[in-house]
Structure formats: C-alpha cells, structure tokens
Amino acid sequence: MIRVLIADDEAMIRAGVRAIMRSDPEIEVVAEAADGREAVELVLSHRPDVALLDIRMPRMDGLAATVEIRRVAPATAVVVLTTFGEDSYISQALGGGASGFLLKAGDPRELISGVHAVADGGAYLSPQVARQVIARFGGARASREAAAAARIEELTQREREVLSLVGAGLSNADIAERLFLVEGTVKSYVSAILNRLEMRNRVQAAILAYEAGLVDTSRG
C-alpha cells in the first residue's frame, strides 16, 4: 500500500482528493492536515510514503512545508497539488525538494499516476506544468530540440516508447499496461534510460521527451 497524507486548508478539497485516492486499492490515506505546520507534524507521526500539499495554507504554506518535510522526513516524497501554476511556484516547489507538481484542474488520473510515480522513487509533472518548465528554462528552443533529438538517438525504439510515456506522465504501472509489459521490466527500462542519458530523475526525462518531440503537446 502507498500511504498518503493530504494537506489543504479547504475541507471540501481534502474530501475530493481523498475520494480520488480511495478509488485506487493500492493507496491508503493515513492523515489529513488543514495547514502546513500540521502537515509536518502528521508526517512525523504517520510517516507516509507521499505527502500531497496545497501551496496557500495558514501557519505554514506548502512551499515551506515541502522544505521542512524533506528535512525531517526524507523518506516521504512530496507532491504539490495546487490551483496556482505560476512559474515561481513551480521552481520554488521543485527547488525545495518536491518530487511532483500537479494542478487541481487536471485529470484525476494524473493525481493517481503522480502518487504512484513518486512513491516508486520517481518524479512527476503534470503535462501542462512540464510545458511551462520547458518554456521558461528551455533557452533557445530550436537548438535544444535538436540537441534532445540527438541525445535520444542512442535509445532503442522500445526505450523511446517508454520515454515518451514517462513524458506523458504515466507511472510504471500505467506504462506496463499500455505496452503490455511486466512492471518490473518497465522499471528496468526507466533505470536504463536515466543511466544512459545521465539523468537524475523522471522530471529531467520528461522534459527531454517533450523537447525531443516524443510527447503529443496538442492536448491539454
């Protein structure tokens, strides 16, 4: 089971996220917090695998809570789930140690995929956020696209398929289902891709997949 903590100052939002989490039999909601300080305290007492944090909360906001949780409970992965997708929030969240950044307006399936991805030790950006990251940090787009295309030339066709689905935000389990593979095989493919391309995590891989044109950006 993936043990999850939900932190949001709006009770109705927490109820909605809890309902989405409970739709997956592999996820268990173990605690809920109404502010960032309470989230940190509950992480220490419950030791969840994943903490889902809103940004704007009283006492301590989600960005500060992310930094504190990563400091006191490094085994707990943090996913920021917010209405606000401003570039500054994205960079602060990822810079503070968050493994994922999702928008509340996104598809509920993205939330499930994100929780699974970070619980597996990976990282997850919703497709819209990934596009924003590329737009802000991509530099000279044409040259980076050419460089990205050159980097993936060393990958096999199957590895490119896996990379494209990582870029689309799918978890290892989702990729396995899509490609009719065993989940362990997908994990091996992802590890091989990260090692061959000298990348630290799935966020970097997802960005490369977008830059190389492996992900359909016409949707969402």
End position of a domain, from candidates 117, 135, 153: 135
Q: What is the pLDDT of residue 207?
A: 79
Secondary structure of residue 118 in the 3-state scheme: helix
- The verdict on residue 220 lying in a domain is no
If pLDDT is split at 50, 70 and 90, which confidence band does 62 have? very high
Cβ distance 173 to 113 under 8 Å? Answer: no
Domain match, 71 and 56 both: yes
Beta strands in 104-147 (DSSP E): 124-125
Domain match, 23 and 115 both: yes
Q: What is the pLDDT of residue 126?
A: 79
Q: What is the pLDDT of residue 220?
A: 44
Q: What is the pLDDT of residue 202?
A: 78
Cβ distance 219 to 169 under 8 Å? Answer: no
Q: pLDDT, tens digit, for every residue of 192-215?
A: 998 988 887 777 788 788 878 887
CA distance 84 to 90: 9
CA distance 46 to 31: 7
Domain match, 125 and 146 both: no
Cβ distance 76 to 69 under 8 Å? Answer: yes
CA distance 41 to 69: 9
Q: What is the pLDDT of residue 33?
A: 96
Q: What are phi and psi of 21, to 5 degrees?
A: -60, -40
Q: pLDDT, tens digit, for every residue of 28-57?
A: 999 999 999 999 999 999 999 999 999 999
What residue numbers bound the domain in which 18 lies? 2-135
Domain match, 89 and 188 both: no
Tokens 């909605």 label which residue? Answer: 16
Residues 6+ apart with CB under 8 A from 71: none
End position of a domain, from candidates 120, 135, 150: 135
Secondary structure of residue 153 in the 3-state scheme: helix
Q: pLDDT, tens digit, for every residue of 92-135?
A: 888 788 888 888 887 888 899 889 988 887 778 877 776 766 66
CA distance 37 to 144: 41
Domains: count for the chain: 2
Q: Is the pLDDT of residue 69 over 90?
A: yes
Q: pLDDT, tens digit, for every residue of 130-170?
A: 676 666 655 555 566 777 788 888 899 999 999 999 888 78
End position of a domain, from candidates 79, 113, 135: 135
CA distance 193 to 138: 21
Radius of gyration of the chain from its Cα atoms, rounded to whole angstroms? 17
**More reliable by pLDDT, 138 or 175:** 175
Q: What is the pLDDT of residue 34?
A: 95
Residue 173, domain CATH: 1.10.10.10
Domain match, 40 and 27 both: yes
